[in-house]
Amino acid sequence: MFDLSGKTALVTGSGSGIGEAIANALAGAGAFVYVADLNEASGKTVAASIAADGGKAEFLKLDVSNKDECNAAAAYVHSARGELDILVNNAGIGHVGTILTTDSNDLERLFAVNVRGMFDLTKAFIPKMIERKYGVVLNVASIGGLLAIRDRIAYCTTKFAVVGFTKCIALDHALDGIRANAICPGRVETEFVRSRLAEYPDPEKAYKEMASTQAIGRMGKPEEIAAAALYLASDEAAFVTGTALEIEGGWAAGR
C-alpha cells in the first residue's frame, strides 16, 4: 500500500518540521522528492538525509511568495522530470494578534506566502497535470482554517482561504483527473514551536497550556501529519478529493 514508486513530488517548506516529515514519507514510499525551501542549508540537509537513507531527492531553492520563482520551479521540474505527480503546498508563516494589533501589512505578508504563493505554484504546475489527466494537489492548512483561534486573525484568515482554494481546485478539476485535498493540523511539536516555547517565561507551563488544547492532551508529531499526507498522495485515496482532513487530537470535538 501507498507505493509511490515512479512518482515525482515537490514539497514546499520541507527544510524542517511538517514539510520535512512529509518529504521523508513520500520518499520512503518510493517517490522522487524535490525538497523545496527558502533555507538552502536546511533544505540541502533534508535532501541529503533522504539520499543517505536510500531515497531519491533533490533540493530546490524556492520562495513561494515570488511568482517568477514559482514559474521557474515548474519549468525546471518539467524539464528535468517531464512531469510532476504530487504537489504539496506546505510552506506557511504565522502571526499573533487580533484585528486591533494586526497591521494590514502583516496580513499581506501572510497572504503572500500562505495563499498567493500556493495559488501561483499550483497554477504553474496544474496545466500539465490537466494535460496528462493526473495530478495530486495537497495543501497544508490548519485547524485555524476551519475554526477561529484567539489572537490569530491574520493566520486564520489565510488558512480559511487555503481550505476554500483547495475545494475550488477539487471541484473545477475533478474531471481532469486531479485530486485536491487539505490537511488541517492542530498544534504540532516542531523545532519552530519548541523555539517559540523557549521564549516564554515558563516554557513548561506554556507547553502544557498548548498541549491541553487537544482533547488527547498532547501536541501532534510531524510524522503523524506526514502519514495522512502519504495516504492522500497515494492512489489508495483515489476517491478522496475536496476534503479538509482534521488531524488535531480532538481539538474540534467539543465545538
Domain assignment present for 252: no
Do 202 and 109 share a domain, yes or no?
Answer: no
Query: Which CATH number covers residue 105?
Result: 3.40.50.720
Do 17 and 88 share a domain, yes or no?
Answer: yes
Domain assignment present for 29: yes
Domain assignment present for 228: yes
**Residues whose CB falls within 8 Å of the CB of residue 251, separated by 6 or more in sequence, listed in order:** 143, 147, 186, 187, 213, 214, 215
Query: What is the pLDDT at residue 255?
Result: 73
Do 171 and 94 share a domain, yes or no?
Answer: yes
Domain assignment present for 132: yes
Domain that residue 234 falls in: 8-185+222-246
Domain assignment present for 1: no
Do 201 and 117 share a domain, yes or no?
Answer: no
Do 110 and 196 share a domain, yes or no?
Answer: no
Q: Strand, helix or coil at 184?
A: strand
Rounded CA-CA distance 148/139 in Å is 19
Q: Strand, helix or coil at 178?
A: strand
Do 128 and 15 share a domain, yes or no?
Answer: yes
Do 107 and 62 share a domain, yes or no?
Answer: yes
Do 76 and 152 share a domain, yes or no?
Answer: yes
Domain count, the chain: 2
Query: What is the pLDDT at residue 11?
Result: 98
Domain assignment present for 100: yes
Query: What is the pLDDT at residue 195?
Result: 82
Domain assignment present for 121: yes
Do 205 and 230 share a domain, yes or no?
Answer: no
Do 12 and 110 share a domain, yes or no?
Answer: yes
Provide the edge-to-edge strand list for the sheet that holds 178-185: 56-61, 32-37, 8-12, 86-89, 135-140, 178-185, 244-247
Number of Cβ atoms within 10 Å of the Cβ of 177: 14
Query: What is the pLDDT at residue 141?
Result: 98
Do 35 and 152 share a domain, yes or no?
Answer: yes
Query: What is the pLDDT at residue 192?
Result: 81
Mean residue pLDDT across the chain: 96
Domain assignment present for 94: yes
76 is catalytic: no
Contact assessment for residue 166 and residue 181, using Cβ atoms and an 8 Å cutoff: yes
* Unique residue bearing C-alpha cell 503523524: 224
Q: Which residues of the chain have pLDDT under 70?
A: none
Q: Which of 34, 76, 134, 155 is catalytic?
A: 155
